[in-house]
């Protein structure tokens, strides 16, 4: 939620157009499997902001249907107090959960599904694991400045731990066994360092100050959805195809040109 902004009711989808992987990167990705032989899971969709109170935030994880998430954590790394970066803001242990029969899990707050936008509320798709994390607004996916989201195996740190003591954008401690996936959400003018090669935003939407409110990983790369609309949210289900320009009333489709800091990164089907 952003105070003093009118918000937008239009739905925007922005193709970030990630470049393809190198042969070496593809081989490395294919080789990285969990102990039970299943393919490593990945972050497939995030809702970090919305029009009004942020009651409906969620993180969607995708992977092999039914795969155990034992030892796997979702982390949010950002600022803390006067420290501008590298602080573990959120750490969710998914060990008790498995991916659903359709290969998805949605980690969400108990308040998820309560906000009506465009005449509908969000719900977790049938076949997906519905993981209620905490109560109320406790997931608190920050949208006030840059945040890096990570999916890791074997996390031994804690909320509040500073992993980048000199704030130079390079982690000085990595208290996990394996980094499975990462993506950074970028806000306009934010000076907080991020720790992922895949970066979504900043993107110029009314009411968000550049922070992507919603994004998902598509075949063509990460795409960004609207601030005041659930039209492109698919919690617990595969992403919709990106709409053609003008396909949704009041919508626009933008191609975000590669920024100089953007690098190639793993890409997977959502
Ligand atoms: Ca938020
Ligand atoms: Ca720090
Ligand atoms: Ca550092
Ligand atoms: Ca989805």
246 pLDDT more than 70: no
| Residue 243, pLDDT score | 54
d(CA 25, CA 223): 22
Q: Which of 30, 13, 12 is nearest to 21 (CA)?
A: 30
Q: How far is the CA of 42 from the centre of ligand 3 (A)?
A: 25
Q: Enter the pTM of the model.
A: 0.80
Burial class (CB in 10 A: 0-12, 13-18, 19+), 229: buried
pLDDT (0 to 100) of residue 242: 58
Q: What separation in Å is there between the alpha carbon of 47 and the centre of ligand 1?
A: 8
The Å distance, Cα 62 to ligand 4 centre, comes to 8
Q: Which ligand is nearest to the CA of 172?
A: 3
Check residue 250 and give its pLDDT.
Answer: 29
**For residue 162, which ligand has an atom nearest its CA?**
2
Q: pLDDT digits over 143-161, tens only? A: 889 999 999 999 999 999 9
pLDDT confidence of 228, banded at 50, 70, 90? Answer: very high
CA of 173 to the centre of ligand 3 (A): 8
What spacing in Å lies between the alpha carbon of 144 and ligand 1's midpoint? Answer: 8
Residue with the larger pLDDT of the pair 17 and 268: 268
Return the ligand number nearest the Cα of 144. 1
Q: What is the DSSP string of 194-251?
A: ---S-EE-----TTSTT--SEEEEETTEEEEE-SS--TT--TTSPPPPPPPTTSSTT-
Measure 172 CA to ligand 3 centroid, in angstroms. Answer: 5
Distance CA 121, CA 164 (A): 39
pLDDT at 6: 35
Residue 198 CA to ligand 3 center (angstroms) comes to 19
Determine the distance separating the centroid of ligand 3 and the alpha carbon of 165, expressed in angstroms.
6
H/E run at residue 83: strand 83-93
Question: How close is the Cα of 211 to the center of ligand 1, in Å?
Answer: 10
- The band of 220, judged by pLDDT with boundaries at 50, 70 and 90, is confident
Percentage of residues of the chain with pLDDT beyond 90 = 60
């Amino acid at each position: 939620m952003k105070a003093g902004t009118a918000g937008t009711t239009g739905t925007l989808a922005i193709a970030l157009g990630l470049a393809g992987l190198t042969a070496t990167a593809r081989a490395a990705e294919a080789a990285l499997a969990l102990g039970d032989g299943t393919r490593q899971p990945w972050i497939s969709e995030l809702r970090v902001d919305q029009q009004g109170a942020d009651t409906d935030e969620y993180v969607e994880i995708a992977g092999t249907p039914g795969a155990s998430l034992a030892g796997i954590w979702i982390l949010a790394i950002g600022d803390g107090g006067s420290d501008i970066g590298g602080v573990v803001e959120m750490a969710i242990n998914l060990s008790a959960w498995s991916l659903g029969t359709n290969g998805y899990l949605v980690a969400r707050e108990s308040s998820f599904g309560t906000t009506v936008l465009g005449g509908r509320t969000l719900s977790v798709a049938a076949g997906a694991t519905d993981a209620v994390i905490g109560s109320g607004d406790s997931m608190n996916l920050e949208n006030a400045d840059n945040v890096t989201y990570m999916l890791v195996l074997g996390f031994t740190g804690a909320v509040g731990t500073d992993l980048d003591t000199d704030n130079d954008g390079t982690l000085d401690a990595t208290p996990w066994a394996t980094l499975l996936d990462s993506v950074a959400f970028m806000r306009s003018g934010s000076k907080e360092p991020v720790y992922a090669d895949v970066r979504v935003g900043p993107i110029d939407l009314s009411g968000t100050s550049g922070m992507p409110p919603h994004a998902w990983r598509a075949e063509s790369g990460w795409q960004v959805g609207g601030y005041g609309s659930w039209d492109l949210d698919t919690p617990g289900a595969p992403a919709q195809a990106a709409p053609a320009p003008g396909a949704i009333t009041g919508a626009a489709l933008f191609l975000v040109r590669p920024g100089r800091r953007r690098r190639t990164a793993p890409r997977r089907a959502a």
